[in-house]
Chain A
Amino acid sequence: MVRLEPRRGRLIIHVFKKKFEWTIEPRYWRNPIIGLIIWLALPVILIGISQLFPISVLRIISTLIFANIICMIAIPLTVQIIGTGRVNFGPHFFAAIGGYTSALLSKNFGLSPIATLPTSFALGALIALFLSPITIISRGLYFVLITLLLPFILLEIAYWQSEIFGAETGIPGVPILLETGNVFLDNVLYFYLSLMIVLLFLFFADRILRSRYGFLMGVINEDEEVAESYGINTTRMKIPTFAITSGAMAIAGWFIAHYYGSFTGPAWLQPSFLIIILLTTTLGGKGAIYGVVLSAYVIASLREATRVAFGELSIVVLFIILLLLLYFLPEGFWGLYRKRRYREYFPSIKIRRG
């Protein structure tokens, strides 16, 4: 059934008749390990720094959690943009689907968070599957407009059926995931929980993008017609990609609902939240999932910093700063790390010159 076959620098996993390759090259492990250690130690580092300034520790931790929430939406979105070749302008719609699903199910039917997690994923994926023909029939501006309309429709439904969806007050009384009695400890634990989810997303996104499936997704992203005329069934690639990544975005909604203990649709369906997500994917570097994490943290902290420093003007200043970053970093934050001009669709294969 399952057989492992080690080769030089890679591991081939045979599952029935399918083959999966896993590149194992320790010489490329240094930087990811350093990055992971910094990431895990981030709360400790920031709390240490915060002792020097009059900033509340809780505020820092909740900013980090917000960054993780952005990551949970932006990482699947990046994979989706590569896999469908289209920019989805309604990622927060799918997040809201997940949020409403878990909030309503746990409030009305008393489901535990463990039960609402697969349900919100499944419902998000199902709605995306239902909507997936738009990835075939529309492209460019039409696709943008269709996906942009979805969150507004949901927003109107939330206001219209306010006794179900709670409109602006949201759906309170959603069971929360962790409770130790200590607010600070709770938040730190939430940070690590959200980090685990983001790491899981990163792991899956990385494995997918480095696989042959991810490589073909890259071809679709670049030129769909060429992909089609070289034997790639683009329809069969785009629909599962769209459905599964949208389901993954719904998981972000699940986390939001169970973290805040309530789900307020109008707060998350705002265009400003969409702009933050889209800027995260763009500033991360096109198609760079690790850059997305970096830019999510930068944007979340900038958002919080401008809020402290500028008060009412904060959102204007934030967007001006982000605009300047877009202008000066056309390749995104990942471009600073990797000084390459093209996207690496499968970095694992290095052909030795000889």
Chain B
Amino acid sequence: MLELKNVRKRFGGIVAVDDVSFKVNKGEIVGLIGPNGAGKSTLINLVSGYYYPNEGRITFTGEDITWKKPFYRAKKGIARTFQNPRLVGNMTALMNVLYAILGRNGGENLTLYEASAEAMYYLDLFGLLKRRDVLAQDLPLYEMRLLELARALALKPRLLLIDEAMAGLNPAEAENVSKLITRIRDEFDLTIVWVEHVLRILMRSVERVVAMHYGKIIADGTPQEVSRDPKVIEAYIGEEI
């Protein structure tokens, strides 16, 4: 479904993503892990069109999207969430879902009424229906994260890129979010690439884990394999003295 070929991204002298090639198959749920600065978020940004790579190619469902703009990718079915919830703070929760519905492929023919009726469905899915008239900036972090997921889902994506859905949440909330993510994967037939720092929960929810370190992929396999990989342990704990 998604394929990266020799993708490289430099920021000045720093190589954030270094010659990365990997493939995500349809229906997979892939966890992307790595220590700080490993290039996970840059990779998400490259796929969603936030940055363009210096080298390499990105294909999505057989189409080369390396140089396509973010809105085109969104219409094609790539949705993302942001590391720090990036909602339109001056708009209500309902409106935040609404523009994703209007922006998606086929949303051009919807009127505001039709779209807002649909937006309520997505809010209800995440238990935010009661909070629809609350400004996004007034929501607590947990609900912001849920709203981001609802907004991403409203795009009717085929590929969902999640950039740290559990950062800053307490364990119970994080557990809830991970359950919701696996639930929507089954219900909406999604392919998910999931960047996360909370490894304990992530390892339980995903089927495949890709570990990155200094912009390179160092391990790729099932959670059990990756967690036992000496390179991954080294990257997380540091070199043995």
Q: What residues make up the interface of A, taking CB atoms closer than 8 Å to B?
A: 10, 12, 17-21, 211-212, 215-216, 218-219, 222-223, 225-234, 342-343, 345-346, 348-349, 351, 353
Contact = CB atoms under 8 A, between A and B. Distances in A.
Interface stretch (B99-107, B181-189, B217-225): B99-107
A230 B135 contact: no
A212 B103 contact: no
Contacts of A20: 111
B169 interface: no
Interface of B: 48-50, 69-71, 74-75, 79-80, 86-91, 94-95, 98-100, 102-105, 107, 109-113, 115-116, 120, 132-133, 135, 151, 155
Q: Which of B87, B109, B111, B116 has the most CB of A within 10 A?
A: B111
Contacts of A227: 71, 99, 103
Contacts of B155: 230-231
Contact of B103 (A12, A222, A232): A232
B72 to A, nearest CB: 8
A231 B90 contact: no
A351 B116 contact: yes
A211 B80 CA distance: 26
Contacts of B88: 219, 222-223, 226
Nearest to B132: A351
Looking at chain A's contact residues, the main secondary structure is mixed
A217 to B, nearest CB: 11
A343 B116 contact: no
A215 B102 contact: yes
A12 B113 CA distance: 10
Given A226-B86, A227-B71, A353-B133, 17 more contacts: A211-B112, A212-B115, A215-B98, A215-B99, A222-B88, A222-B89, A223-B88, A230-B79, A230-B99, A231-B103, A232-B99, A232-B103, A345-B91, A345-B95, A346-B112, A349-B112, A351-B120
A229 B94 contact: no
B116 A349 contact: yes
Q: Which of A232, A342, A349 has the most CB of B within 10 A?
A: A232
Contacts of A211: 112
B112 A216 contact: no
Contacts of A216: 99, 102-103
Contacts of A353: 133
Contacts of B49: 228-229
- Smallest CB-CB A-B distances: 5 pairs: A231-B103, A231-B74, A222-B88, A228-B70, A230-B100
Contacts of A19: 109, 111
Nearest to A21: B111
Given A229-B71, A231-B100, A231-B107, A215 B112 contact: yes
A234 B160 CA distance: 22
A342 B90 contact: yes
Contact of B50 (A17, A229, A343): A229
B100 A228 contact: no
A88 to B, nearest CB: 21
